[in-house]
Amino acid sequence: MSVGAEQIIAVSGSELDSLADIFKAIGDPGRLKIVHSLLARELCVHELAQTVEMTPSAVSHQLRLLRGLKLVKRRRDGQRIFYSLDDAHISTLLSQALEHVREG
């Protein structure tokens, strides 16, 4: 499903703004760690907090933002709420960016 450069150029202003929102979201170290942690498997808030070394409150705040952008989704299991990636493209995004970093 990849697109050519020609199509990339034809992007509306609002689409660019939406893109910026997504990039800004994973442009924060804490949120990027969260998303990165969810690449492996779904995690509850408590587990995420330990993994990324943030307070549950801070994680919850950031998850709310990520959820608003449809980057993560959640499901309840008893008292816990498990979060997972809501977007198949995210892992591809990360891999592409990773190539840049590792080549640079």
Which residues of this chain interact with DNA, rule CB under 7 A?
24, 28, 30, 44-46, 54-58, 60-65, 74, 76, 78-81
Per partner kind, with CB cut-offs from 5 to 8 A, the member of DNA, a copy of itself, none near residue 58 is DNA
The type of residue at 39 is L
Q: How far is the CB of 56 from a copy of itself (least distance, A)?
A: 21
Give the CA radius of gyration of the chain: 15
Residues 6+ apart with CB under 8 A from 59: 30, 34, 45, 48, 49, 52
Sign of the dihedral defined by the CA atoms of residues 64, 67, 72, 74, in that order: positive
SS3 state at 71: coil
Q: Enumerate residues 47-66 that contact a copy of itself by CB under 8 A.
A: none
Of positions 18, 50, 57, 84, contacts a copy of itself by CB under 8 A = 18
Residues that bind a copy of itself (CB under 8 A): 1-3, 5, 7-9, 11, 15-29, 32-33, 36, 39-40, 70, 87, 89-102, 104
